[in-house]
A and B are shown apart, each in its own frame.
Chain A
Amino acid sequence: MPVMKVGMVSDGGVKDADTLDGFHASLIPGANTIVPLNADGILDLSATSALINAYTIRRVNGNNLTADYPLAVGEEVIYNWNTTASLSKPLYIATNNGVFMMTIIAPYQTAADIAGYLNPNNTTYSNAFTYALAGSSDGSGGLEGGSDTCSNFFLANVTSGGITVCFISTITNMKFLIAIQRIARYTYGGALYILGSRWNNTTTAWTSLGTLTTTKANGTITVLIRRLL
């Protein structure tokens, strides 16, 4: 059976049609424009986004945010947090009962253990949080653990240096944070921790993802937040 290709007609009379169903083609993305693969075979949408049903593929520069951004499912925000300039970093993300993944990468140093926190709604709530953690420091030969109350989400030594991955539920009656981290420690060089933290209040809405804070400066920290649900 003969195959008809776009840009051709069966009698071979027309090539390079100006439009397809009325839409122009261009390597530069724009409204009502068909974007072909580029010379490297990549669909390059540059600064625009691809919306696939309810899933958005887009990276937003969080450093430019000044008000809560309605992050869509699949969309992510990236920040460079200069802790020398400020010990706090407002994230400016609207939450709306969402589930998020947050990755934090801090420069490696072993001069001090540096604790970090997530303050939901950019606020501390006195002793409204509890956490439990378990882990082990390199060469210690044993397990460490503990639990306590807090006035925000405790992220252990997240800003000490290393990598932390958090899963965050902002659902009003289930405001939880789980973190896995491979971090620097001043006595041992490094440690692995797993921690879970809970905002014990089940009625207060978590509307803004909040502000990250650290107890001590440690260079520039990269934060990447993606909305999962």
Chain B
Amino acid sequence: MKVWAYIHPELNILCCALLKESIPEGIEAIEFEVESLDDVIYDGTQIRLKTQDEKLQELKARKLSELKTYVASLLAQTDYVIAKIAEAQIQNDMEEVEVLKQKYSAQLQQRKAIRVWNEQMKQAIQNAQNLEELMGIVIEFKGK
């Protein structure tokens, strides 16, 4: 799509008009053809399109953040197990700790699997060489 980028004279921020008639009067805007509205940046000296590497790094950060949120939501489902074991440990009741570990061994094993998968995903995201490869990484834990 076409956008017209300019620095807003009062707000002093980068703006992109999606319609030519939305450019404020008296403002000189630069026309760009973009795939995404996020593609245009102001780097402190000029308004320009992001480089492929900038896009890649940005998408990596977004994917890592998405992964972090997803893993947190997976682990949250069995946090009660950790809370129970931690309580027993605080009370120095090691017998109870062992009982709980036995009782919740399946949940503990799954938490371990989630963490291993999380590390593998992090590596895959960080090692991605291009946008296509990165976009092909699906954040979905299948070891449930």
Contact = CB atoms under 8 A, between A and B. Distances in A.
Interface of A: 86-88, 90, 117, 119, 121-128, 140-144, 146, 151-152, 186-187, 201, 204, 208, 211, 213, 215
Interface string B1-44: 10100001011011111110010000000000000111000100
Interface stretch (B69-77, B106-114, B124-132): B69-77
Nearest to B16: A124
10 contacts: A119-B18, A124-B3, A124-B18, A125-B15, A126-B14, A143-B76, A152-B37, A187-B140, A208-B22, A213-B1
Contacts of A211: 18-19
Given A144-B73, A151-B37, A128 B13 contact: yes
A128 B17 contact: no
B82 interface: no
A184 to B, nearest CB: 15
Contacts of A119: 18, 37
Given A125-B13, A128-B13, A201-B11, A117 B37 contact: yes
A121 B37 contact: no
Interface residues of B, number: 25
A88 B10 CA distance: 27
Contacts of A127: 13
Nearest to B7: A126
Contacts of B38: 151
B15 A126 contact: yes
Contacts of A151: 16, 37-38
A170 to B, nearest CB: 15
Contacts of A142: 73-74, 76-77
Contacts of B8: 125
B138 interface: yes
Contact of B18 (A90, A126, A187): A90
Contacts of A186: 138
B73 A140 contact: yes
B99 to A, nearest CB: 25
B86 interface: no
Given A151-B38, A187-B138, 12 more contacts: A88-B18, A119-B18, A119-B37, A123-B16, A123-B22, A126-B15, A140-B73, A142-B77, A143-B73, A187-B139, A213-B1, A215-B36
